[in-house]
């Protein structure tokens, strides 16, 4: 299954592309600039040095068209709605995976949640019920994703109103050797998206001895 990552030229998109390609999943990076996407795809393929180049680059519309079913949105929050509006006509029969965190402009330690409640819910409202939106991958850092020699250090919380779409995304994410949990309906994204600025706050704090923290669901005795 070939997936698209829009805004895939950024750190988060590149990290995800590396991880998915390493797991054997073909990826199309989307960009506003097809040439830039193709160049970054070539760099990532060179870094992976797999027998077959599994990452390609196109403009955002071309990437959506090339994806079999799953399209990930990895643009800044300021570009969230406009990007969705531009790709909406091509999303029929596909699943939109929204990993955008509505960080406050100029202060990544705070969120500015949209009136719909979360970016995931805003995406669902904008795209309409025929196009399932799944929120995921908000709490894993690009730095973690890019360090391929290390296992991903966190669990992935997945939410959305369409169970079938959510289960498909969970199965896809599990190919990255992580736990992915059904965290409930799209409304759960209000909590999941809002955790990220707390992680960023901890990561830049001098009072804690780590960076690139994630969250993990822990069960006593397990």
Ligand X SMILES: NC(=O)c1ccc[n+]([C@@H]2O[C@H](COP(=O)([O-])OP(=O)(O)OC[C@H]3O[C@@H](n4cnc5c(N)ncnc54)[C@H](OP(=O)(O)O)[C@@H]3O)[C@@H](O)[C@H]2O)c1
DSSP 123-161: HHHHH-TTS-EEE--SSS-HHHHH-TTS---S-EEEEES
Contact flag: residue 214 with ligand X (CB under 6 A)? no
Would you call 42 exposed, middle or buried from its count of C-beta atoms within 10 A (0-12, 13-18, 19+)?
Answer: middle
Asked whether 184 and 104 are in contact (CB, 8 A), the reply is no
Contact flag: residue 36 with ligand X (CB under 6 A)? yes
Of 3, 31, 84, 91, the residue at the interface with ligand X (CB under 6 A) is 31
User: What whole-number distance in Å separates Cα of residue 185 and Cα of residue 20?
Assistant: 25
Contact flag: residue 20 with ligand X (CB under 6 A)? no
Smallest distance from ligand X to CB 199, Å: 8
Smallest distance from ligand X to CB 178, Å: 14
Contact flag: residue 142 with ligand X (CB under 6 A)? yes
Contact flag: residue 74 with ligand X (CB under 6 A)? yes
Contact flag: residue 134 with ligand X (CB under 6 A)? no
Smallest distance from ligand X to CB 60, Å: 7
Nearer to ligand X, 7 or 62 (CB): 7
* List of residues 6+ apart from 182 with CB closer than 8 A: 158, 159, 163, 166, 167, 170
Task: Determine the residue with CB nearest ligand X.
Answer: 10
- Give the interface segment with ligand X, choosing from 27-35, 64-72, 120-128, 176-184 (CB under 6 A): 27-35
* Residue whose token pair is 């006509």: 89
Six-digit token string for 93: 């029969």
State the pairing for strand pair 55-59/27-31: parallel
Binding site for ligand X (CB under 6 A): 7, 9-13, 31-33, 36, 74-79, 83, 99-101, 103, 138, 141-142, 196
């Amino acid at each position: 299954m070939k997936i698209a990552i829009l805004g895939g030229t950024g750190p988060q998109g590149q990290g995800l592309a590396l991880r998915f390609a390493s797991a054997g999943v073909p990826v199309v990076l989307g960009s506003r600039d097809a040439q830039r996407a193709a160049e970054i795809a070539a760099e990532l393929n060179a870094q992976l040095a797999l027998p077959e180049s599994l990452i390609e680059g196109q403009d955002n519309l071309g990437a959506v068209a090339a994806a079999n079913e799953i399209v990930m949105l990895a643009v800044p929050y300021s570009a969230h709605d406009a990007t969705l509006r531009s790709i909406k006509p091509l999303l029929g029969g596909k699943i939109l995976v929204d990993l955008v965190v509505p960080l406050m402009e100029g202060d990544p330690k705070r969120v500015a949640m949209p009136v719909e409640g979360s970016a995931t819910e805003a995406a669902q409202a904008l795209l309409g019920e025929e196009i399932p939106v799944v929120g995921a991958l908000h709490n894993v850092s690009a730095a973690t994703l890019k360090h391929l020699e290390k296992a991903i250090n966190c669990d992935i919380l997945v939410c959305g109103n369409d169970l079938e779409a959510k289960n498909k995304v969970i199965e896809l994410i599990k190919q990255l050797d992580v736990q992915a949990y059904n965290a409930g309906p799209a409304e759960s994204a209000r909590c999941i998206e809002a955790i990220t600025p707390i992680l960023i706050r901890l990561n830049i704090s001098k009072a804690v001895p780590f960076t690139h923290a994630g969250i993990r669901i822990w069960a006593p005795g397990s």
